[in-house]
């Protein structure tokens, strides 16, 4: 059985007080309403990590993640936050290669690869994001794009390293647009990702690695997305900012 994961990427939203309130509401609802076999991950802004880490300390169902990490170990990189720092405040996960980082901050596959390796070396679980743009899909290049993102940023890893990675398929055209991938499109791509991993690393690893869907996933469409054989949960943006909506998504398996 693969791990089921629903992660809330808050992006650059909430102040510290609002973030603590949201985290504590989610934690209480998850404690009361959610089965033990689902892992919930809260991914607030950096400034909230320590506080929310303290709040959820010891909770088995709710974990903490960061939205990004530096591509360097330490040193003169003003404004950057290292994987080691993130780990030291109690986070278990870190998002790498989110499309907003790739597009707005010009991170390419080699930077993403560096971040994946650093995350792993500090015992963080990378949530590796991949996804195609609308143009790329319309031109029939979506499989090729995802394949090169996997090849160039992940496939240098050893088997025992890749085993620790979580993949999130987030089609860029679905992020924050209200346009969700259809259950068919999501399953088709998740299956492609799993098959690509199988060809390179074998069936056992391919069957173990969780692949999450992200992009306008909400309490209404989560059920039909999560029902697909290769969809193991979601990476949720906008809908993770409301505790009721987010918990309802978590309960959509």
Residue nearest to ligand 13P (CB): 237
Residue 41 found at the interface with ligand 13P (CB under 6 A): no
Of 124, 167, 235, 249, the residue at the interface with ligand 13P (CB under 6 A) is 235
In the complex, the smallest distance separating the C-beta of residue 32 from ligand 13P, rounded to whole angstroms, is 24
Task: Encode burial over 54-87: b for 16+ CB neighbours within 10 A, e otherwise.
Answer: ebbeeeebbbbbbbbbbbeeeeeeeeebbbbbbb
Using the contact rule CB under 6 A, the part of the chain among 46-54, 106-114, 115-123, 170-178 near ligand 13P is 170-178
**Residue 68 makes contact with ligand 13P by CB under 6 A:** no
Is residue 237 at the binding interface for ligand 13P, with CB under 6 A as the rule? yes
Q: Which of 40, 215, 232, 247 binds ligand 13P (CB under 6 A)?
A: 215
Query: Binding ligand 13P by CB under 6 A: which of 21, 105, 138, 176?
Result: 176
Task: Tell me: does residue 132 bind ligand 13P (CB under 6 A).
Answer: no
Q: Does 187 bind ligand 13P (CB under 6 A)?
A: no
Is residue 233 within the footprint of ligand 13P (CB under 6 A)? no
Cβ neighbours of residue 91 closer than 8 Å, sequence gap 6 or more: 49, 53, 63, 64, 65, 66, 124
Cβ at position 160, least distance to ligand 13P in Å:
27
Q: Which is nearer to ligand 13P, 219 or 235 (CB)?
A: 235
Least CB distance to ligand 13P at residue 45 (A):
13
Tell me the closest approach of the beta carbon of residue 107 to ligand 13P, in angstroms: 14
Residue of 44, 65, 214, 233 that binds ligand 13P (CB under 6 A): 214
Residues with active-site annotation: 98, 170
The span from the CA of 215 to the CA of 181, in Å, is 7
The correct pick among 170, 230, 245, 248 for binding ligand 13P (CB under 6 A) is 170
Residues that bind ligand 13P (CB under 6 A): 9, 98, 170, 175-176, 214-217, 235-239
């Amino acid at each position: 059985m693969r791990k089921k994961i629903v992660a809330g990427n808050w992006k650059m939203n909430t102040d510290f007080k609002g973030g603590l309130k949201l985290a504590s509401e989610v934690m209480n609802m998850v404690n009361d309403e959610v089965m033990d076999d689902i892992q919930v991950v809260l991914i607030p802004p950096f400034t909230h990590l320590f506080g929310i880490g303290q709040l959820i300390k010891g909770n088995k169902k709710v974990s903490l993640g960061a939205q990004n990490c530096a591509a360097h170990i330490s040193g003169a990189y003003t404004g950057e936050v290292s994987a080691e720092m993130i780990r030291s405040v109690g986070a278990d996960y870190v998002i790498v290669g989110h499309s907003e980082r790739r597009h707005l901050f010009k991170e390419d596959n080699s930077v993403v690869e560096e971040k994946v390796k650093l995350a792993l070396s500090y015992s963080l679980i990378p949530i590796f994001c991949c996804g195609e743009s609308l143009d790329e899909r319309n031109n029939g290049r979506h499989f090729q794009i995802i394949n090169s993102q996997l090849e160039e940023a992940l496939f240098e890893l050893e088997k025992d390293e890749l085993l620790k990675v979580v993949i999130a398929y987030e089609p860029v055209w679905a992020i924050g647009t209200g346009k969700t991938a259809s259950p068919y499109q999501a399953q088709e791509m998740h299956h492609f990702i799993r098959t690509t991993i199988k060809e390179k690393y074998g069936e056992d690893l391919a069957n173990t690695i969780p692949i999450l869907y992200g992009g306008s996933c909400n309490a209404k469409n989560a059920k039909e997305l999560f029902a697909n054989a290769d969809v193991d949960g979601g990476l949720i943006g906008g809908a993770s900012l409301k505790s009721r909506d987010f918990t309802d998504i978590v309960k959509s398996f």
